[in-house]
Structure 1
């Protein structure tokens, strides 16, 4: 038997089944209501909701709420750390030096500092202002900070309070310690704290403010 004959014999049952299925197929019709498959456009859905909010005043109210929250935050930012008042004088030194864990190179690949090198930022910084960290809600601490000097030699940083109100009241800038960065960096535990440059370290002093010192 030739190759073509064998192939024809192998395909014959398959063709027979196909023809039988076609011959016995029936149209059973449609049952129930048919609906086209359609999905709402996601962007159009969002725009539709915004248009509805714009019509009923909801969008304008949302904008006013956002503006008010921004004003509230600027007036009284979220405190990064809530610290107790100093009850006893305490002083300690803080060494800002860092040790490189890898070589540092310039844009041409030339190494200018090798791993293991110890660098003290005070050797390269001319910053000499004292930093007073206070609780801006404590009148005695505010008075203490103001007595430490003017803006030329003293930086007042509040860990908690309303910096804009304090600035308007006292006619000078009060900086806010965003997310408690200064408090955490220098290990401040009680307020008020005075940070002074004392090369090659920084002197950290916790200074208690007595009740009678408060206005």
Structure 2
């Protein structure tokens, strides 16, 4: 009978699938078994910190960090020394830029399409003269201080100790860290004076006479 044969085939198929489970048995353990353990990273760090605290290493690290911070504040990292100007020279710097992509506000409204030419001076009210000097050259420092007050000028150091000069002269001294400003205004010799000469910025290199401001 056809149905009988089909039932037998189905039964055998089920038996073949089930039989391995029915016949499963414990084969025992082969080789040594170890528990899975992982070090607690935070606990390890805390243990090292406690050890450093105990032997004075942590206090030394804190002192070293404070010394480095204090040293950097007293004398920031310089982008490099620049020579003194030997002759008076003047040139202009055009700050105009061309937008390379659409600029939009927080609502997505484009206020400057790609290709737009913009001169920042057209939107800036900054009128102070910027004086670039070597803070380690006393003659350049005296020259800069004599050029005006903080109301009309900013003194920017290429290198030197701004805090020490602030205490001595009673006014703020700025520092051109990593030479960002000197690069933008193409400052090559010191001292240099930078001021507006719309629509450009005028750069003047000033040759100081020895012993005179």
Instruction: Give the distance between the partners of 1:118 and 1:6, measured in 2 at CA.
Output: 84
Instruction: Give the distance between the partners of 1:66 and 1:122, measured in 2 at CA.
Output: 41
Shift of 1:4: 9.5
Instruction: Give the distance between the partners of 1:127 and 1:35, measured in 2 at CA.
Output: 73
Instruction: Give the distance between the partners of 2:119 and 2:125, measured in 1 at CA.
Output: 13
Aligned residue pairs: how many?
210
* Aligned twin of 1:133: 132
Q: Is the 8 A contact 1:82 1:160 kept in 2?
A: yes
* Aligned twin of 1:71: 70
Map 1:1-215; keep pairs closer than 5 Å: 38-213=37-212
Q: Which runs of 5+ in 2 are unaligned?
A: 11-24
Instruction: Give the distance between the partners of 1:181 and 1:160, measured in 2 at CA.
Output: 13
Instruction: Give the distance between the partners of 1:166 and 1:183, measured in 2 at CA.
Output: 20
For each residue in 1:92-113, what CA deviation from the matched residue of structure 2 results, as whole angstroms up to 9, or x when unmatched? 1001111122333334443333
Instruction: Give the distance between the partners of 1:155 and 1:146, measured in 2 at CA.
Output: 10
Instruction: Give the distance between the partners of 1:50 and 1:176, measured in 2 at CA.
Output: 37
Instruction: Give the distance between the partners of 1:51 and 1:35, measured in 2 at CA.
Output: 30
Q: Which runs of 5+ in 1 are unaligned?
A: 8-21
Q: Is the 8 A contact 1:81 1:183 kept in 2?
A: no
RMSD between aligned residues: 3.0
Instruction: Give the distance between the partners of 1:36 and 1:116, measured in 2 at CA.
Output: 66
Shift of 1:180: 1.1
Q: Is the 8 A contact 1:50 1:59 kept in 2?
A: yes
Instruction: Give the distance between the partners of 1:117 and 1:151, measured in 2 at CA.
Output: 35
For each residue in 1:143-173, what CA deviation from the matched residue of structure 2 results, as whole angstroms up to 9, or x when unmatched? 1111111111110000100000000011111
Shift of 1:41: 2.0
* Aligned twin of 2:13: none
- The list of structure 1 runs, each at least 4 consecutive aligned residues, that deviate by more than 6 angstroms after superposition, is 2-7, 29-32
Given the two structures, how large is their TM-score scaled by the length of structure 1?
0.81
Q: Is the 8 A contact 1:92 1:205 kept in 2?
A: yes
Shift of 1:80: 2.1
